[in-house]
């Protein structure tokens, strides 16, 4: 596999063929010239070759470093590899220079960088801050209900919601639309108008069960029955 590390867009148009690797076809990276046919190859392309024969003339390969060509390549003007994303930087390939593209890419706002929280995402350097505060799955957040602090993925998972004491839960009594917090569920049930309760006169023997809100009407409707039950109880 050829590497082609120098896949750049050149400011002054395509460089001449002598500056390109005969294996990967990109601009040479640490150029080596073969003694057999005078073709040039990247050092890395040669290193990855399995049989050590010239890929063009099949002779046992013998190369020397081409310093002149390398100097020419180092001076080629290139656009930032993020130019299509909007970066207007121009400079050279020269790896030893502060104005080289490698140095620029270490601070280019358009460069994709791995999230510093190690969530696995790659983000444009200029958006990293927003990612870390608003989008990163590994960021720390507070639960919107109980305010507990934790990693976004854990705090918004069912694992937390299954335990969150302040999660609003729909009352399970038929017809009740209230959503008390988990910690107030039993308290709510004690006053929920839709909870099924035994008649307040169950101690004297009324077997009726009804929604709490119906107790009053039931008392009105059953005055006689309740009085009779009470008398019977007292009479014993």
Q: Which residues here bind Zn ion, judged by CB under 5 A? A: 21, 23-24, 34, 36-37, 42, 45, 54, 56-57, 80, 82, 87, 89, 108, 115, 117, 119, 121, 136, 143, 145-146, 164, 171, 173, 176, 178, 192, 199, 201, 206, 208, 222
Q: Which is nearer to Zn ion, 24 or 78 (CB)?
A: 24
Measured from the CB of residue 96, what is the shortest distance to Zn ion in angstroms? 19
Q: How far is the CB of 175 from Zn ion (least distance, A)?
A: 8
The token pair at 221 is: 């409707």
In sequence order, what are the residues at sequence separation of 6 or more whose Cβ sits closer than 8 angstroms to the Cβ of residue 11? Answer: 77, 78, 79, 90
What tokens appear for 41 in the block? 């190859």
Residue closer to Zn ion (CB basis): 19 or 206: 206
Contacting residues for 164 by C-beta, under 8 A, at least 6 apart = 143, 145, 146, 148, 182
CB atoms under 10 Å from CB of 134, counted, come to 11
Min. distance of Cβ 109 from Zn ion in angstroms? 7
Residue the block writes with tokens 């002054």: 12
Structure tokens at 164: 């969150």
Residue nearer to Zn ion on the CB measure, 10 or 145: 145
Closer to Zn ion at the Cβ: 103 or 222? Answer: 222
- Give the rounded distance of the alpha carbon of 59 from its chain centre: 51
Q: How far is the CB of 134 from Zn ion (least distance, A)?
A: 10
């Amino acid at each position: 596999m050829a590497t082609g590390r120098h896949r750049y867009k050149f400011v002054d148009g395509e460089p001449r063929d002598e500056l390109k690797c005969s294996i990967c076809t990109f601009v040479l990276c640490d150029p080596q010239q073969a003694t057999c046919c005078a073709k040039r190859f990247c050092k890395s392309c040669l290193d990855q070759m399995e049989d050590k024969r010239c890929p063009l003339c099949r002779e046992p390969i013998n190369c020397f470093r081409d310093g002149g060509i390398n100097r020419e390549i180092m001076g080629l003007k290139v656009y930032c590899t993020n130019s299509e994303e909007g970066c207007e930087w121009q400079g050279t390939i020269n790896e030893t220079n502060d104005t080289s593209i490698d140095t620029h890419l270490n601070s280019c706002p358009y460069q994709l960088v791995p999230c510093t929280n190690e969530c696995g995402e790659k983000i444009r350097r200029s958006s990293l801050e927003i990612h870390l505060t608003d989008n990163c799955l590994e960021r720390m957040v507070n639960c919107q209900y109980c305010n507990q602090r934790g990693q976004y993925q854990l705090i918004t998972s069912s694992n937390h919601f299954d335990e969150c004491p302040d999660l609003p839960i729909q009352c399970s009594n038929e017809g009740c639309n209230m959503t008390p917090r988990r910690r107030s569920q039993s308290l709510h049930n004690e006053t929920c108008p839709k909870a099924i309760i035994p008649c307040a006169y169950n101690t004297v023997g009324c077997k009726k069960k009804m929604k709490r809100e119906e107790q009053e009407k039931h008392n009105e409707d059953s005055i006689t029955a309740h009085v009779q039950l009470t008398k019977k109880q007292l009479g014993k």
